[in-house]
Amino acid sequence: MPGLASFAPCLRFSSSAWSRRASRKGGILSSPGVTMASLSLSINGVAQESAMPASQNSDPPRVQVAKRLEQFKTTIFTEISILASKHNAINLGQGFPNFDGPEFVKNAAIEAIRDGGKNQYARGFGVPQLNAAIAESFNKESGIVVDPETHVTVTSGCTEAIAATVLGLVNPGDEIIVFEPFYDSYQATVSMSGAILKTVTMRAPEFAVPEEELRAAFSSKTRAILVNTPHNPTGKVFPRHELELIASLCKEHNTLAFCDEVYNKLVFKGEHVSLASLDGMYERTVTMNSLGKTFSLTGWKIGWAVAPPHLTRGIRLAHSYLTFATATPLQWASVEALRAPDSFYAELIKSYSAKKDILVEGLNSVGFEVYEPEGTYFVMVDHTPFGFENDVAFCKYLIEEVGIAAIPPSVFYTNPEDGKNLVRFAFCKDEETLKTAVERLRTKLKKAVSLSS
């Protein structure tokens, strides 16, 4: 995802940047004739500057955020993004490739735009051919046969699938269980729905599901559990026995399961199992995915939710009022993408395995404790050997002294202490960039640390 955050589209206001500026001139930056209040904000973790006109002599506009999003308004991502560009750091924080998607898919989009007749609003829940292609690929992956017309909803990325699912199926006051560390849109989406987030922490080195804690998290108020496999940021692929435990608890407590599988084609070790494919689960599961990660087209934002009709109804209702429909020509091109031959996926894994090996070996060689990922394009490490007080301090050091940007994972936990020893690197970059990054770590990080000790 753009910026260091690798995450869902969202506006993030940096209160620290704001207060720094505000201290310069009471928050007002003057230019001839106009009074401007400058606001630092981040779109997908990318720092942006916007100038908001304010009338002469008035107080600076107060940053206003609805209560349901108040807790998300300050973020370390903005600060890190600014630092990274200031120091010209190699960006291994970004969760999106620095290379483009396949030509055959891009050409299909160009043709769809040129063709005519494919540029107006699409059918709300998807271009029929795309719904059919999604149903086909879901069948291939999970063994489940679904009716594309009543079980598949095309959304604007998986992010919107998550939002439409939560907003369409969960009531204020309901509880949603989420494993942490978590992809950051989950917490904000749960907050927007008025539901209550119940977290269960997976801890290094295995990031295993703690069975007793999970059992204890379920209650009569539990509406759903949100599972992300393969998992961002840990790179864990949930093993079958953990998914079976989750399934049995969902059935025992009659709860729903929301499954985010955007990295399902990026598995290096073990097998990806769809929770929906386990006995008795399809009827209570929403499986969400998107084109972005698999086809290196994160900017297209084509996603989907597959669920039985009794759940699809709520998802489609929310989707109708969130976005109604998503980009028509890109939906047509996505049909081509989903019908890619098996060789495409084999090549994808081969190429990502090579990238993973470069980064994992490099990180090992400089002295991190590396938790080798089984899936996704992220790798988590423990930075303790370098003696920093926490992940934020270490990431700042990494940018300023080594020239590498990474993500401080404490932001993926409700209690930041749980992530303070960790750092997340992304390897969705061309091999040259990864090799240069490793070289910087070898020369600069090692040298800097040995000088300070």
Tell me which residues touch ligand PLP (CB under 6 A): 1, 6-8, 95, 157-159, 183, 228, 232, 260, 262, 290, 292, 298, 301, 303
Q: Report CA 316 to chain centroid distance, whole Å.
A: 22
How many C-beta neighbours within 10 Å does residue 267 have? 18
Nearest CB to ligand PLP, comparing residues 388 and 412? 412
The distance of closest approach from Cβ of residue 389 to ligand PLP in the complex, given in angstroms and rounded to an integer, is 28
Give 399's DSSP letter.
I
How many C-beta neighbours within 10 Å does residue 347 have? 13
The distance of closest approach from Cβ of residue 11 to ligand PLP in the complex, given in angstroms and rounded to an integer, is 15
Nearest CB to ligand PLP, comparing residues 79 and 160? 160
- How far, in Å, CA of 85 to CA of 46, rounded? 10
Contact 446, 366 (CB under 8 A): yes
Nearest CB to ligand PLP, comparing residues 83 and 266? 266
Nearest CB to ligand PLP, comparing residues 175 and 260? 260
Cβ-Cβ contacts under 8 Å for 384 (sequence gap 6 or more): 369, 421
Contact 121, 325 (CB under 8 A): yes
Residue ranges of alpha helices (H) inside 220-308 are 240-252
Nearest CB to ligand PLP, comparing residues 423 and 449? 423
Sign of CA dihedral 432, 232, 100, 341: positive
Q: Which amino acid is at 412?
A: F
Tokens 């934002």 -> residue: 301
Helix (H, G, I), strand (E, B) or coil at 165: helix
Contact 77, 411 (CB under 8 A): yes
Closest CA relative to residue 270, chosen from 235, 295, 294, 246: 235
The distance of closest approach from Cβ of residue 4 to ligand PLP in the complex, given in angstroms and rounded to an integer, is 12
The distance of closest approach from Cβ of residue 130 to ligand PLP in the complex, given in angstroms and rounded to an integer, is 14
Nearest CB to ligand PLP, comparing residues 191 and 228? 228
The distance of closest approach from Cβ of residue 3 to ligand PLP in the complex, given in angstroms and rounded to an integer, is 11
Q: Report CA 333 to chain centroid distance, whole Å.
A: 23
The distance of closest approach from Cβ of residue 408 to ligand PLP in the complex, given in angstroms and rounded to an integer, is 16
The distance of closest approach from Cβ of residue 233 to ligand PLP in the complex, given in angstroms and rounded to an integer, is 8
Using Cβ positions, the residue closest to ligand PLP within the complex turns out to be 157
Nearest CB to ligand PLP, comparing residues 183 and 388? 183
Instruction: Strands of 235-330 (E only): list them.
Output: 256-260, 285-290, 302-306
The distance of closest approach from Cβ of residue 161 to ligand PLP in the complex, given in angstroms and rounded to an integer, is 8
Nearest CB to ligand PLP, comparing residues 93 and 314? 93
